[in-house]
Amino acid sequence: MTTSKNNGIGLVSLGCAKNLVDSEVLIKQLEYSKFRIVFEPKTLHHIDTVIVNTCGFIGDAKKESIDIILHYAEAKRTGKIQRLFLMGCLTERYRHELAIEIPEADGIFGVNQLPEIVREIGGEYRTKLLGERKITTPPHYAYLKIAEGCDRTCSFCAIPSIRGPHKSRPIGEIVSEAKYLAETGVKELLVISQDTTFYGIDLYGRRRLADLLNNLAEIKAIQWIRLHYTYPHAFPFDVLDVIRDHPNICNYIDIPLQHISNHILRSMKRGMSGNKSRELIERIRNTIPRVAIRTTFITGYPGESENDFNELCQFVEASEFERMGVFTYSHEEGTPAYQLKDNLPEKIKLKRQAHLMQLQEQISLKHNQKLVGKEINVLIDREENEFWVGRSEADSPEVDQEIFVRKTGNPIHPGTFYTVHITEANHFDLLGEIPV
């Protein structure tokens, strides 16, 4: 049965920004085939088909995906919708199990099957739309996926087995997509992939992230280019110079370190030692003035001793990262670490996560207090009660802190940059006003 054109297709996109980009490409294709797409539907009114783009990375994310699938399977069983399609990382990883467990699903697709999904729904997949997508983020910022998959072998990570080997997109294709996004009004590009620093090795036989960033920086309508998911091992230092030398590339770098203890880093197969990590952070700070470094750590990895954890705490206190996230270790079948004994109780993993975030709370407050009385460039994202909410160059959407700008009655436009005078600092956000 094909979807009637009057009725809509609800699309639910779970997981990371890389998955979101896939959803945006799919929306563009389906809308071009004259389907009406409701992104993240709040109700099922006028919707007879639902697509769930799933996440299958770690325990919590898998649970969320399964809960949502079951919700729509129930909706199908009770006739609220006629068709249900599943795609993404969870289905790539557990395709057979889901086919048995979710008989309500009309189609189960993996991660690189957009043409099949479009056809199955009754549309026509058009290659001419390559590089075009329907932005679901606020119109002034967008994610730019530069590659798919990963060639690394981090022992805790299932992504290479889900998304396959690293596959860089050609520079020309990425630049034309960035130009297309700029023409639609995008001012901030968030450069993403599983491993951005690996960019180019498969396609050009050498690292070409610096070249790519140089090309993207030529697009003057793009005022902020933000680099995410860099990998510490064999870090391409020319990238640091490019970030420093281009005013429209944010002095911001997202570099997940995961841990600092040699014993844990070795077991994680990160290809880095604690000292190499310290040297890299120092080099980044010495090369890019006022750089904001975002990193993430894992607590409770198999075999993480009190000493390992204390070393991590000392590193966090000494490094004073501007932005930091902490995940608890998730024992994932199919990963090398699954052979190890997941010997730390969940409550210890969570206790260590909370402790690290408490340390970071004080560090973040210290960074924020330095900005009180200063004026900073802020991109306004939205209105919220008596505030306009925005971000500085040091804040990536969804993951970092925000700046709450008091309303003064002057017209303010989301998607516009303003100079904001910072009046107050909290642990994880700032308050300010736009000088009249």
Footprint of ligand SF4 (CB under 6 A):
150, 152, 154, 157, 159-160, 194-195, 231
Angle at which helix 171-183 crosses helix 209-217, to 10 degrees, equals 30
Contact 255, 232 (CB under 8 A): yes
User: Which C-beta is closer to ligand SF4: that of 16 or that of 102?
Assistant: 16
> 36 vs 152, which CB is nearer to ligand SF4?
152
Rounded to whole angstroms, how far apart are CA atoms 194 and 397? 18
Nearer to ligand SF4, 13 or 330 (CB): 330
Work out how close the CB of 13 gets to ligand SF4 at its nearest, in angstroms, rounded to a whole number.
19
Shortest distance, position 260 Cβ to ligand SF4, whole Å? 16
Cβ closer to ligand SF4: 301 or 418?
Answer: 301
- Residue whose CB is less far from ligand SF4, 202 or 429: 202
Q: Measured from the CB of residue 327, what is the shortest distance to ligand SF4 in angstroms?
A: 11
Instruction: Please say which residue, 232 or 432, places its beta carbon nearer to ligand SF4.
Output: 232
> How near is the Cβ of 261 to ligand SF4 at its closest, in Å?
17
Q: How many CA atoms lie within 13 A of 42 on its CB side?
A: 0
Minimum gap (Å) between residue 296 Cβ and ligand SF4: 10
**CB-neighbour burial class of residue 211 (10 A; exposed 0-12, middle 13-18, buried 19+):** middle
Tell me the closest approach of the beta carbon of residue 269 to ligand SF4, in angstroms: 8
Nearer to ligand SF4, 107 or 164 (CB): 164
